[in-house]
Structure 1
Amino acid sequence: MKPTLLILAAGMASRYGSMKQIDGFGPNGETIIDYSIYDAINAGFGKVVFIIKEEFVDNFKAIFEPKLKGKIETDYVFQNFDLKQFGIEEEIYREKPWGTAHAILSGRNAIKEPFCVINADDYYGFDAFKKMVDFLTTEVTDSNYSIIGYQIGKTLSEFGAVSRGVCQVDASGNLTEIVERTKVYPKDGAIFYEEDGEEFPLDYETPVSMNFWGFTPAVFPITEELFVKFAEENKDKPKAEFFIPLIGEKLVKSGQASFKVVPTANKWFGVTYKEDKPFVQDSIDQLIKSGAYPENLWN
């Protein structure tokens, strides 16, 4: 059975200022998602599931269905604020969605096979998709998951701080710890993260998570249990987010699962800020010139 690609596309894009998930960056208006799905199809994925807000479903279908028909199976699931589906009766006020790990739960009824999770607004490169397919078809088990590890120096924005899941890896290449650093930035030729007003340096090749995770459906009930606890503990914190690295950390520390950190030297790029757009457009143009992609992706 071919693995499934689960795309996180329900974020509010508060820093970017518009719906970057369907913004055009390629020469014919291709979105970053287009390049991810193109790579996923060529790598061997069999289905793509979009996690979106329900009010955007018509937009997404109009953009992607004509391109993908006959190439890969598609499905759409919705991330929302309804907590009753998790047995939480209390109304909890939120300013934004509950986060990436909560979003994964939206796909629990649509996915029955090994799958990977990616962000809609990140460019990952074919190498990462091929390595993930290889893992999901030969190595994955209910207690052996994976994460694609990018070099932090190849993942930063020139226009502001970014969040990165910084990975600690043992001698066998397995994750021992992942810490979400919410303010990472380049400065004077070096890389730093900020915590409690202090700066700390990071090595250029430090492996980080760009939310490219490989799982089996066994992760869904575990995630739901963790989310219910998180929601109850953070009901008075309307900006608290349930990040995917929290799942990884819990499973690793409890011994329930291991995570193989699969390294890639690919350069990541994405659109955290509006100012990132020209850089992303130029990066895609260079990839087309190098022969990585055809100029017209789907024709």
Structure 2
Amino acid sequence: MAFQQTIKNKVSFTGIGLHSGADTTITLRPAEAGTGIIFHRTDLAPAVSIEATAENVVNTRLSTTIGKHGAVVATIEHLMAALRGCGIDNAHIDINGPEVPIMDGSATHFMEAIRKAGTATLSKSRKFLVIKKPITIIEGDKKISVIPSRYFKVTFDMSFNHPAVPSQTKHLVFDEETFSGEYAPARTFGFLAEVEMLKANGLARGGSLENAVVIGDNGVINEEGLRYDDEFVRHKILDSVGDLALLGHYFFGHVKACKSGHDLNHKLVMEILKRTDCWKLVEFTTKETSSVFTLPLPELAWQEA
């Protein structure tokens, strides 16, 4: 069967929060099977534990924030994408502030450290959510849908009304190596004209050219330029992987997004959870572990969970 995984050893990160501007340290610890991903606000007395689930999302403006009992953890999407990319089902995350560090604006630092910490296979099987019927959400010119697929896929169409940002489309068939090498390094981005407005509204206080791609009137102002010609849409897919991880299960389905963001990603996850007639949970009778979600369904024996 495909078994759940956790990290093998503790690993810590320290950095600045993109929006809060606060220095924060987080520590990932191993967790038992069935725990899921849980954030613990250790700076509060008593500490508050917040499960990384769609039901606990309290804000989706420019990032994804979860909260419980008045405590929040913001900008979790890059770390969640890294955990998903490394095949981690269960982990405790101690954090001494309200926002996950932004690091360099990508998921690479998180993935590299998690891989260095190692993974441990647990005794409980992993359940997969398999999409059976399409689900679509449309808001104006924004759209996101999920349709049945033998793989986990994300197709993203990105378009901004800005001369320096061309329309971009990218298609990901998810597996750890592809995500790690081609999507995790893609950095968050923003427009120079919006920076002062964001800071006036208490956002982007920790933003800099060291942790974000900044776009001016004539193009990218970062001295090193872009890591990929289509880095913007790659980062949109990275964000989508992190937001979709709040579904609570690895899943088989093809997500198609057009001008989507954290808010629409979250609404799709909530709609999937509500529409129980559109999916089923399955367990695989294979000896594969974390790589099983990249294999085509017909090549695996499965049964309803």
TM-score (norm 2): 0.28
Q: Which has the higher helix share?
A: 1
